[in-house]
């Protein structure tokens, strides 16, 4: 196994690729061949040159505007079939290259899934290759409502879902029907807090806390991801925001109260590798959104574990392993987990396909990428996802 060549499908300039290459080097392995998303989206024939024995790591396509545009273009046909096409033909190339702009997440998703499935078919004859995930697994993990349904059916605790929404009016009706005053609204196919809204509606008053900045363009509303948390308090502003998100397929779920640590609300990013829970990061915030890139900070992990009762920890590990059993074809999963006040119970919020970017986090002396390399060298395969690693 140690002599098998590695390959990475990713963005060569990205720190994720550099981090994984360093993990290979630290284990005395040759660097991986990098197949860039941008090149593959132009011509996928490079996949045919991969050795039959290659270990293929699929990395995040994010943080590259050119790749984002190409994936939106790749999703045009599929988006037209489901009537969700935002950009057709050459209109995308005419857009200004605005940093942080939310372009067309549903169309992007369809382009990514379509491309990954086409590439997998290209490599299907190379049966000896070991891929660290599959197109079908990525498709489900990147679809929040579908993934949540899959987890809930497997007995994994999740917040009460309100499903996909067509806009603000339907959201309000669903909240009234279920007697829910607080919800999270999320883009169904996004990551890194893009398009996430914490919404509170009570007695006709509404407020929304979000990472989305709404800008009135010349022809329509435009949305941008902001590193500064925004708060909208008028019904007109909130309706405009939710309607704009719903145009790209949005879903909602009950907003559950979170436990606190050192006076800040907190939740947990927990990395599962080869079926076993490994690296953890506590994310703390003074707002409902805990993503670290929004200016939030890491909490004291030792204090966090001291606060969790032994039985609750046992239940958390079982949740991790259940998630792994749902996706035996994925080497790793990044779980976002909420604990209720007092750490009395936990809920799975999301499964992240590329949730292993955890700088300066070690478990048993190794970082996340090194642990993934060790798992593969130790015999992990989709047929043996729960193999324990030392």
Tell me the average confidence (pLDDT) per consecutive run of 10 residues in the chain, 390 residues long: 85 98 97 98 93 95 94 95 87 73 95 96 81 96 97 97 98 97 97 93 94 83 92 96 97 97 96 97 96 93 95 96 96 98 96 97 97 96 51
C-alpha to C-alpha distances, 91 to 120, 215, 366, 387, nearest whole angstrom: 29, 20, 46, 48
| pLDDT of the residue at 125 | 67
Say how far apart CA 35 and CA 9 lie, in whole Å. Answer: 5
| pLDDT of the residue at 116 | 97
157: tokens are 């605790």
Burial class from Cβ neighbours inside 10 Å (0-12, 13-18, 19+) for residue 51 reads middle
DSSP 101: B
- Which strands, in side-by-side order, build the sheet including 130-131? 33-36, 6-10, 55-58, 130-131
3-state secondary structure of 150: helix
Say how far apart CA 53 and CA 42 lie, in whole Å. Answer: 25
Residues 289, 193: contact at Cβ < 8 Å? yes
CATH number for the domain whose boundaries are 141-158+258-377: 3.30.470.20
Say how far apart CA 371 and CA 377 lie, in whole Å. Answer: 10
In the chain, where are the structural domains located?
6-131, 141-158+258-377, 161-254
How many CB atoms lie under 10 A from the CB of residue 33? 16
Strand partners, 239: none
What stretches of the chain adopt beta strand conformation (E)?
Answer: 6-10, 33-36, 55-58, 130-131, 161-165, 182-187, 197-202, 205-216, 221-232, 250-254, 260-261, 264-273, 276-285, 297-298, 332-339, 346-352, 362-363, 366-367
| pLDDT of the residue at 387 | 38
| pLDDT of the residue at 100 | 87
3-state secondary structure of 244: helix
């Amino acid at each position: 196994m140690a002599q098998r060549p590695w390959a990475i499908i990713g963005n060569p300039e990205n720190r994720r690729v550099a981090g994984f290459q360093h993990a290979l080097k630290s284990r005395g392995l040759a660097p991986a061949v990098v197949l860039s998303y941008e090149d593959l989206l132009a011509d996928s024939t490079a996949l045919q040159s991969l050795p039959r024995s290659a270990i293929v790591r699929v990395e995040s396509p994010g943080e590259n505007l050119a790749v984002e545009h190409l994936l939106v273009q790749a999703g045009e046909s599929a988006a037209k079939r489901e009537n969700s096409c935002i950009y057709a033909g050459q209109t995308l190339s005419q857009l200004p290259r605005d940093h942080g702009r939310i372009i067309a997440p549903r169309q992007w998703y369809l382009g990514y899934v379509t491309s990954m499935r086409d590439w997998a078919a290209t490599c299907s004859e190379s049966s000896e290759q070991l891929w660290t995930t599959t197109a079908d697994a990525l498709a489900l993990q990147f679809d929040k409502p579908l993934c949540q349904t899959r987890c809930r059916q497997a007995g994994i605790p999740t917040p009460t879902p309100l499903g996909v929404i067509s806009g603000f009016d339907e959201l309000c009706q669903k909240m009234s029907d279920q007697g829910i005053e607080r919800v999270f609204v999320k883009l169904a196919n996004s990551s890194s807090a893009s398009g996430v809204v914490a919404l509170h509606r009570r007695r006709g008053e509404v407020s929304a806390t979000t990472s989305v900045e709404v800008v009135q363009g010349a022809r329509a509303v435009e949305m941008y991801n902001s590193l500064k948390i925004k708060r909208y308090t008028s019904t007109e502003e909130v309706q405009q925001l939710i309607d704009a998100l719903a145009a790209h397929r949005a879903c909602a779920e009950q907003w559950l109260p979170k436990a606190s640590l050192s006076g800040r609300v907190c939740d947990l990013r927990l990395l599962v590798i080869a079926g076993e829970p490994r690296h953890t990061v506590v994310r703390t915030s003074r707002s409902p959104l805990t993503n670290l890139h929004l200016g939030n900070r890491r909490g004291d992990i030792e204090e966090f574990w001291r606060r969790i009762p032994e039985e609750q920890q046992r239940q958390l590990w079982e949740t991790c392993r259940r998630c792994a059993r749902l996706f035996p074809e994925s080497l790793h999963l990044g779980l976002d987990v909420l604990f209720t006040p007092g750490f009395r119970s936990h809920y799975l919020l999301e499964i992240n396909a590329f949730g292993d970017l955890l700088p300066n986090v070690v478990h048993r002396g190794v970082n996340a990428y090194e642990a993934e390399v060790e798992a593969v060298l130790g015999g992990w395969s989709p047929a043996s996802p729960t193999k324990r690693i030392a």
